[in-house]
Structure 1
C-alpha cells in the first residue's frame, strides 16, 4: 500500500534544481560499447546473488577438512554512507526454521572464486570459534522500524532518534518517492554490493516498465510518520533524485546488451547521469514527518 506523506513535511527544499536529463550517448551507441568492452567485473553483485551463499571456514577440522559453517542471511548497512558493517550468518536448523543467527564483521569475510569462476565466501575462523559468537540481536544494532533513546542534553527528557543502521533486505522493500511528491511511485528492488569496498554501491528500482540502476549516494533514506506509526514504530522511506516521469531519460538495465552493474562502462554512464546526486541529497530536509 502506498503511503501518503503529511503535507507540511514536504518543503520547497525537496525540489531539486538543474536536473540534467539529456544523455550524451544514445542507447544504441551505448549498447554497442557494452558488447565491445570488457564487461567482466566480478566486484559488483546483487544482494540476491550473495544472500544464501555458503560461508566456508579456512581453518581445517581435526579430520583435515574445511567446512561451511553457515550461509549468508543479510547485511547491516549504514543508510547514510552505504557501508556494510556486519554480515548476518545463519547456521543450524532446516531452512529458516530453528536456525541461529550470528553477526560477523564485513572485514572478516574473504572473497575468492572456485574452479567454475563462482564467487566463494570464506572466513579465517574455526567452526568452534564461530559457534562462540553471541547471537544476532537486531535491537542492539538499531534495526529498521526501531528507535534508540539518546540524551538530548543534560536535564532534559530523552527523545527518540531514528537509527541509520538497517538490514539490506529491509532497504530493498522501501517505498520510493520523487522530489516534492506526496505518493510513492515504486519500491526499491535490490541492493548492488561492491565486494571490494564493502558498500551498497547502487539500488535498483522498476518504473515505466524498465529497471533502473541508481547510485546509493543519490538516495535519501529518512523516517516518516505513517498513519499508524507511533513514537516507537518509526517507518522509513527512500527519496530518489528523480520522479517517475524524469526517470524516462535515465539509463536502464538491459541484460541482453550487458547494461548491468557488472559492466564498468555502464556504471560510468550511470554515475555521469546522476552526477548531481550528492548536491541533491544535501538539499533534502533533515526533518520529515515530524521526526528528526
Structure 2
C-alpha cells in the first residue's frame, strides 16, 4: 500500500481518537518528509524500510528532544500500519530514546515587571493578549481562540470570570480571568471587528512576541507565560492537582515539570523535620 494512502487512513484514525487537526498535520508532515527522503534515490518507490528510517533519523540535525518526538511520530504510524497489514515492518526495531527532562523556565517578579512596563508602549490588542496569557495560563492557540461570545457569556465566580476553553486533545476546561483583566478584554472588544476576543490570531501574536522580546535580557516565548502561571500557582501553595486542572494537563507528570524549587525553598522544606 502506498504511504500516502496509509497515512490518509491513519489521519482518520487519529481524528476519531480525538487528535486535533494541528497534531494530525504535524504527523503528516513528519511522515511525508520521511517518504520524500526514502524516494530521494528512487522516485518510483512506494514503500519504506527500517533502513530508510534509520538513515533518515541519522540525517536529521535536531535537538535530542525534538528528535525523540519525531521518532515517536514515525513509530506510532508504523505500528498502526502493522496492525492493519498496510506494511510489514517491525516497529520494535525503531529505537526511540527517552526525552531529557528539561525544567521549564518561568519569569521571576522582576522579569514580569519588565514585561508589564514594556507593554505600555504596545497596542491594546497585543497588551490584552499578553495579559490573558499571563493571568490564565492558556496556550497561545487557546488564548487566540477565545471569542467575543465567550467573553460575553463569562460567569463571575468570586473575583474571576469563568469561560470555557477548547484545548489540547480537543478537550474542554474552565479558565478563570481575573476581574481587572476581564475589564481590559471588554475594552479591547470595542476597538476591532474580529470574532476572537483579542483581535489577533496565533501567527500575529507570535510575530509580535518575537519583536517584543528584543532588548530583554531573558528568554521569552508565548509558552513562557504559561510556565510562569503554573509556577506562581505552585509557589502560592496551590495543589498540583488544581494546577493540573487549570492548565488542562492530561498527565500530572507534565504539571510537575512546571513546578520549581530553588535552594532556599528546599532548605526551608527540610526545616519542617525540626532537627
TM-score tier, shorter chain, comes to: under 0.3
Structure (1 or 2) with the larger CA radius of gyration: 2
Highest relative contact order (Cα 8 Å, sep 6+), 1 or 2?
1
Structure with greater helix percent: 2
> TM-score, normalised on structure 1?
0.26
> TM-score, normalised on structure 2?
0.27
